[in-house]
Amino acid sequence: MVDKFLSVDDLKSLPDVPEKVIEIPQWKTSIKVKGISKKMQIELGRLIQGDTTDAFDYQKELLKASVVEPALDDEAIDILYEKDATIIDIIFEELNELNGIGSEVESALAEEFQD
């Protein structure tokens, strides 16, 4: 058992979120992504539950929050969404794994797309 309790000063020096490089061999390139904070997780969850937002809004905001290199804005995401869906799905699978998001969220998104 550890004898030290976490302090507020300890919180400030803790690492924020993990980063990962996702290789995309089909495009002979890679992207750098980062995990999401609890704050961002809550904000994204509100998008899923909103009356004026849908799964696409959730995915766009997840990409903007998570993809570090290259940084993505709405225009870049629109261009990305014109590419091979299989590769885009691989990116989301990697982001879900990095963020510890399981099949419940994936099922909710799948249902949203079917509506």
pTM for the full predicted model: 0.76
Instruction: Say what the pLDDT of residue 30 is.
Output: 97
Instruction: Say what the pLDDT of residue 77 is.
Output: 95
Cα–Cα distance between 31 and 43 in angstroms, integer?
24
pLDDT, mean of each 10-residue run, the chain (115 residues): 83 87 95 93 85 87 95 95 93 91 57 56
Instruction: Say what the pLDDT of residue 95 is.
Output: 93
- The residue whose two tokens read 């899923």 is 48
CATH code of domain 8-114: 3.30.2220
Q: Where are the domains of the chain?
A: 8-114
Cα–Cα distance between 21 and 29 in angstroms, integer?
10
